[in-house]
Amino acid sequence: MNIKINPFNPNATVSTNLFAGRKEQILRVISKLEQVKNGMPASFLLVGVRGIGKTALAKLIRFVAGANDDVLGNLNFVTSYYSVESGQDIGSALQFSLNELTDQLPASAMDVLSSSLGKLFKNGKFSIGVFSAELEARQSEEVIALKDQMVAVLTKLVDTMRSVQKGDNKDGVLIIIDELHNVSNLNFCAQLFRGIATTLDVKNKGFVSFILIGYEETLDEFFKHDASARRLFDVINVDVMPKEEAKEVLIKGFEQIDVTYDEAALDENIMVTGGYPHAIQMIGYNLVDADSDKNIGKDDWKSAIDKTARELQTKEFADMYNFKGKNTLRERILDILAVSSRPLKQKEIADLCDGKNIYQYIAPLKKSHSIKSNPKTDTVELHSHLFRMAILLHILPRIQEEGYLSDVISEVEGKS
């Protein structure tokens, strides 16, 4: 049997050698970590929708932070990555994070921790966030207790690993926490992290950086109870990839398995993904799957796009759009938003629907996350590029053959 190796996988995190693009975001974080190395603390929030590449970016940053690479800032941090489970509290997530760090410490450092941290470090393991029932009833005191434990541990950790024998010593600590929206006590996290960071800073132990990862909505909840924590974090918005970066993702995968590719076809078709990494991985997977002559050409693109669209239509988007039956007004509204190159006002959509009453559809579409609105500009747009792609692929034949929505396309282009 001939088993084909496929370098693409939309359901796993890309390996370091196949990671593409994001240079600007990476450099921004690296330059800050170079400061952390000198005791000036910095922390980050990676924000963006599902499938946009937050986890992949964080894992790459983690790699760079521990690589001690001349070109990339000579960063030699101990690092942890932890993905929070639904309903887990932050104390537990931090405990897992600390325990992941210990693998990277020299044995001599472990001995120092054992003899100096008491209950917080026993038998080579950290134990934090365990409080009496009485304390748990009083949230604000629990935050303070957890903060004190974290400060005690991180202070010792930083002191120890910076002072061990040269060659074994480390620059600082990088703690990455993913899926922040899962944290049960998210409302006290901002205060907690602010407390940890400012206390370490005052004690001249600011060799610590946190990267927290979540959705836009998570951030609002995060800062609701402690707005002043905002200035402590650099917010890094992870957005769709520009065309060249999107192409790079595919090219790296093709090169890895030694297949050639038609450059014109790549250039022409890549933006069907909207620059959305999850979609790029899906297309890449289906391209390699479709190929039979070790050259990714026009035909492979055609079949991969069809296949990806069908996959999306039957899974993620089946309830959001009727891909099988008749076009109702709901589909018409979504079609218009899909072909539009910019967000639209509700009045504009109504005009493009011959003045029909579209307003009753807007609220349910929002509720099902099919569309999202921007109150500042009073406009609506499709919720994701993936969704947009599925609709576009669905209506593309009609656009080409019947000139479907050509009035919308020219109308929208003209005014933007």
| C-beta of 209 vs 281, nearer to ligand ADP | 281
Q: Which does 48 bind (CB under 5 to 8 A by kind): ligand ADP, Mg ion, none?
A: ligand ADP
Q: Which does 281 bind (CB under 5 to 8 A by kind): ligand ADP, Mg ion, none?
A: ligand ADP
Instruction: Out of 25, 55, 308, 340, point to the residue binding Mg ion (CB under 5 A).
Output: 55
Q: Which does 81 bind (CB under 5 to 8 A by kind): Mg ion, ligand ADP, none?
A: none
Q: Which residue is nearest to ligand ADP (CB)?
A: 53
Instruction: Out of 7, 10, 41, 195, point to the residue binding ligand ADP (CB under 6 A).
Output: 10
Residues 48-67 that bind ligand ADP (CB under 6 A): 48, 50-56
Q: Which does 337 bind (CB under 5 to 8 A by kind): ligand ADP, Mg ion, none?
A: none
Residue 278 interacting with ligand ADP (CB under 6 A): yes
| C-beta of 55 vs 313, nearer to Mg ion | 55
| C-beta of 56 vs 192, nearer to ligand ADP | 56
- Smallest gap, in angstroms, from Cβ of residue 260 to ligand ADP? 20
Residue 277 interacting with ligand ADP (CB under 6 A): yes
Residue 95 interacting with Mg ion (CB under 5 A): no
| C-beta of 180 vs 393, nearer to ligand ADP | 180
- Smallest gap, in angstroms, from Cβ of residue 173 to ligand ADP? 22
| C-beta of 274 vs 277, nearer to ligand ADP | 277
The amino acid at residue 354 is D
Residue 14 interacting with ligand ADP (CB under 6 A): yes
Residue 308 interacting with Mg ion (CB under 5 A): no
Residue 218 interacting with Mg ion (CB under 5 A): no
Chain residues binding Mg ion by CB under 5 A are 55
Chain residues binding ligand ADP by CB under 6 A are 9-10, 12-14, 18-22, 48, 50-56, 249, 277-278, 281
